[in-house]
Structure 1
């Protein structure tokens, strides 16, 4: 999909850059594959704000996505590509011979009418899913499981992908977008190709209201507040917030490590922090 720029006929149009969705389905989603979605406004069951910056937003329905891709050896046909308000990637409606329909995350270069299949081992073609242990080294994949049968968790956002770089004793070595290299079990499923809508990162919303449609509220910088409201607040003139930036509750932020005692740390071969990728 290409980017769409607008003539500055209004202040909101000036600088507005959106993804061209003219090739997507213009109707409603399959009702049986959706359910209603309630908004929290960032509040918990007591009405207290527990997540700042959330409120409003356009009404949405949740689309059920097949992240597991365990309908093996059944060829499906891509009926249409659709917009999904719950994610940055586009989704594809797949129809099978037995009449079943499912939504999958649409990879790049997947078109209406294409055939997709999930199997233990199959052709390396965008949209096809297979076990990681059967994927040729060097292949680009997405929607990668971290545990067999759990469903895809890695590389589901627009434009993301994972590259298979090797195998070792029933495990597969993959390289993530962050530069991290890790082991994943060979029986985990992955879908061939990179996720659709890579131009999502190049959009410019153009006005604050468009951000509100997405359910995002503005956040006030800590340095603009009074000392009673934030650790960065107060001071004479403009200040930077100090050498050790913190949250409103005093926890270190802006680059402070928050990952501790994760059970999957042993699967990481090279951390994304160890060496910065070149190019």
Structure 2
């Protein structure tokens, strides 16, 4: 369509256009296709692509850093992303599954480590003859024994930190994280470092949980949740310290938006306000009050 419009314009003045100009214009139209630029959001991240294998593994996965660009068109979508230290990705097993009857399943913590692709620390856990990664809690350490059960008892259980039980099996006031949206789909809510939700009350077969944002969500009592507060509590209070470390974290600098004395949000030089007149109260005398002995 663009070439048709171009040649329709060229037919108006054929004496002014030569063959070379037509070739250059056609090349420019062909080399610049009409690509729809993607928009940030909609559940799509432009920081990295993780290459997941077909089966679960504890081997660190390869990562392709996008630096805020769309992987198909190569155009910049998110401007605040760029640089950063290359990290391996550790695949977290979000599903904590256990027996529905009998004693709970026991899991042993092998190692606590940091993960560069998430804020909370992670734990390497052994379950039978298999290994998996989970999110570490605040006081979790190597050698701890974790319990996991999908049984819904009549009396609420007294769970320890790191144990995974149904929301209906935990007493009110318990701190939880990694809550399932639907039973069996894996922990979806509360993943950030130092965060936790609180079980407020139970209404019929629903459990009301207060999220870290102070909003209250209603979950099914058969949704799994992990007890305790997530690790790396001081993550939000740790100062970055230098612009170079901000680059290591993968944040692109936003230069020119703010200066202390001028700029977009800086100090504004405004003219002085007009003089305010303070009038003498004698010009506005109060009414005279006469006191008499008669009612």
* Contact kept? 1:156, 1:195, Cα under 8 Å: yes
Q: Relative to 1, partners in 2 of residues 1:65 and 1:123: Cα closer, same or farther, differing over 3 Å?
A: farther
Q: Which residue of 2 is the match for residue 131 of structure 1? A: 166
Residue 80 of structure 1 pairs with residue 111 of structure 2: yes
Structure with greater helix percent: 2
* Contact kept? 1:33, 1:102, Cα under 8 Å: no
Larger Rg belongs to: 2
Q: 1:209 is paired with a residue of what secondary structure?
A: helix
Q: Displacement, 1:223?
A: 6.8
* Contact kept? 1:65, 1:105, Cα under 8 Å: yes
Residue 175 of structure 1 pairs with residue 210 of structure 2: yes
Q: Deviations over 1:236-263 (max 9, x none)?
A: x64549xxxxxxxxxxxxxxxxxxxxxx
Q: Displacement, 1:222?
A: 5.0
Q: Relative to 1, partners in 2 of residues 1:221 and 1:172: Cα closer, same or farther, differing over 3 Å?
A: farther
Distance 1:212 1:43 in 2: 17
* Contact kept? 2:97, 2:150, Cα under 8 Å: no
Distance 2:110 2:79 in 1: 39
Q: Displacement, 1:163?
A: 0.3
Aligned with residue 243 of structure 2, among 192, 208, 212? 208
Aligned with residue 62 of structure 2, among 36, 44, 47? 36
Q: 1:199 is paired with a residue of what secondary structure?
A: helix
Where do 1:1-279 residues align within 5 Å?
Answer: 32-44=58-70, 45-72=72-99, 73-97=104-128, 99-121=129-151, 123-220=158-255, 238-240=263-265
Q: 2:239 is paired with a residue of what secondary structure?
A: coil
Q: Which residue of 2 is the match for residue 18 of structure 1? A: none
Q: Relative to 1, partners in 2 of residues 1:164 and 1:221: Cα closer, same or farther, differing over 3 Å?
A: farther
Distance 1:188 1:158 in 2: 22
Distance 2:263 2:67 in 1: 32
Structure 2 residue runs without a partner (length 5+): 1-56, 152-156, 267-295
Q: 1:76 is paired with a residue of what secondary structure?
A: strand
TM-score (norm 2): 0.63
Q: 2:236 is paired with a residue of what secondary structure?
A: helix
Q: Deviations over 1:49-73 (max 9, x none)?
A: 0111111211111111121211443
Structure 1 residue runs without a partner (length 5+): 1-30, 225-236, 242-279
Distance 2:97 2:208 in 1: 22
Q: Deviations over 1:135-165 (max 9, x none)?
A: 1111111111122222212211111000001
* Contact kept? 1:126, 1:192, Cα under 8 Å: yes
Higher relative contact order (CA 8 A, sep 6+): 1
Q: 1:34 is paired with a residue of what secondary structure?
A: coil
Q: Relative to 1, partners in 2 of residues 1:61 and 1:131: Cα closer, same or farther, differing over 3 Å?
A: same
Q: How many residues align?
A: 199
